[in-house]
Amino acid sequence: MKITSSLMTPSKSKSGALFIGFFSDLKFNAIAKEADSLLGKQISQRIKSKDFAGKTGEVLTLFTDSGQRVVLTGLGDEKKCDLGTLQTATTKAIKAVVTTPVKTVNNYLTSLNFKNIDEAVAGKITSIAASHAAYRYEVTKNFKKDNKHNLTSMTVYADKKSAAAIKQAASIATGVETTRALGNLPPNICNPDYLAKQAKDIAKKYDNCTLTILDEKKMQKMKMGALLAVGRGSRNESKMIVLKYTGTKKSQRPHVLVGKGITFDTGGISLKPGANMDEMKYDMCGAATVFGTFVAVAEMQLPINLIMIVPAVENMPDGDAYRPGDVVTSYSGKTIEVLNTDAEGRMILCDALTYAQEYKPQVLIDLATLTGACVVALGHVASAVMSKQTQLPQDILQAGIDIHDRAWQLPLWDDYQKQIDTTFADMQNVGGFAGGSITAGCFLSRFCEDVNWAHIDIAGTAWASKKDGATGRPVAMMAQYLINESNKSK
């Protein structure tokens, strides 16, 4: 969905629908008064008859004489209205029109005088939420197009000061959609080779982007033993995908994002239960997230240097698959005793993180659907951030607050490290039931001892359910983090 901004008022709009916001006090601002006039005072009548009360998420669709829809949208108590409220209200408004013939929308929710939300931020939040609500998956559906779900564009009511934020939001929305599209694809389509082809398309689209792909032969020569062990059981060749974006002088050290790209995870020899194994197509959502973040940055043309690294691997069981009890040597030279082949994400990430450090990053962040324990700890609301640094995790958390794509920091204390010690190698790849997300972070930390690094576990946030699929999180948080970082260098 195309997202733009303007100061066009309701009486001049030719869009198929108008979104008009109200707090629960039901006061009319200038925009609401103009919409009421267009509707022959229908808004006033519906409020008087208590058909609309302005409750959070409440919607009521009215029609002008010309057939234009006016969607009244409630945002609840003005004093309690926050980014989450605005996100919910926008989603409800989009859902009210997305299955109708409406193609274009003028969104006036941002015309309200928010007490707790900056106007530019309100525009950004409502834009991203609208795009998210309008998305639907169609790639592998073989059906005739219906005449619904035709929404193609939205114009947000915003002045010049907020226009830049709306433009950023449009880019972030494109990134989120990229991530959702990749995450939702079936594993027989979205395999390591497919991800590599998507990276090629991105590199061709933006003049300041370049691509490097390491194949298995190259990685064998480099001795990336941990990554290659995971992919040994699959007929789909493993790949290391490296996309570079140069947005400022080359001498500026890059920010590097590493995304776990397990395109399908059977668990390997430590085979997962059959129930819900289909959801393991989402185990590449870390990769999808860095793809989406990269696209958002390239769309915005941020003044920053960014490198995206995706170890793309399929974890399958066959006669050559790696086994529990194996000891493999990682790219760093450290050895790993494999106790569980289903703890494969950290195995591919450790080699990718070691490789990433050759680019001398000023910041190194990995994102992964790494542990079920993270879902137990934080549910589906917050991503988990782990780091031994002080400032970096705080910057990530703040970006999540800024854009309402929130995260929470878990400890990465040395007390947990003993759980991955072993007699037979430098470390083992699992640390037991207790603190499973943290011990996974501890494992990765052993490969990032001298770098400004953070690990983000997105197992609970990257996908919602079989019905709703990939969420596109936390692309918004990562894009906002990089926006904040680029502002520091100005």
How many angstroms separate the CA atoms of 104 and 150, rounded?
9
Residue pair 206/245 in contact by the 8 Å Cβ criterion: yes
Residue pair 361/254 in contact by the 8 Å Cβ criterion: yes
How many angstroms separate the CA atoms of 18 and 104, rounded?
9
How many angstroms separate the CA atoms of 329 and 340, rounded?
16
How many angstroms separate the CA atoms of 10 and 243, rounded?
44
Handedness of CA 72, 77, 81, 87 (dihedral sign): negative
Residue pair 22/32 in contact by the 8 Å Cβ criterion: yes
How many angstroms separate the CA atoms of 107 and 151, rounded?
13
Q: Which of 95, 272, 334, 446 is catalytic?
A: 272
Q: Give the residue carrying structure tokens 């298995």.
A: 216
Return the DSSP state at 210.
E
How many angstroms separate the CA atoms of 302 and 166, rounded?
15
Instruction: Tell me whether residue 406 is one of the annotated catalytic residues.
Output: no
Q: What is the DSSP string of 214-273?
A: E-HHHHHHHT-HHHHHHHTT-SSPPEEEEEEEE-S-TTSPPEEEEE-EEEEE--TTSPPP
Q: Which of 346, 388, 406, 473 is catalytic?
A: 346
Instruction: Tell me whether residue 446 is one of the annotated catalytic residues.
Output: no
Residue pair 186/476 in contact by the 8 Å Cβ criterion: no
Active site residues: 272, 346
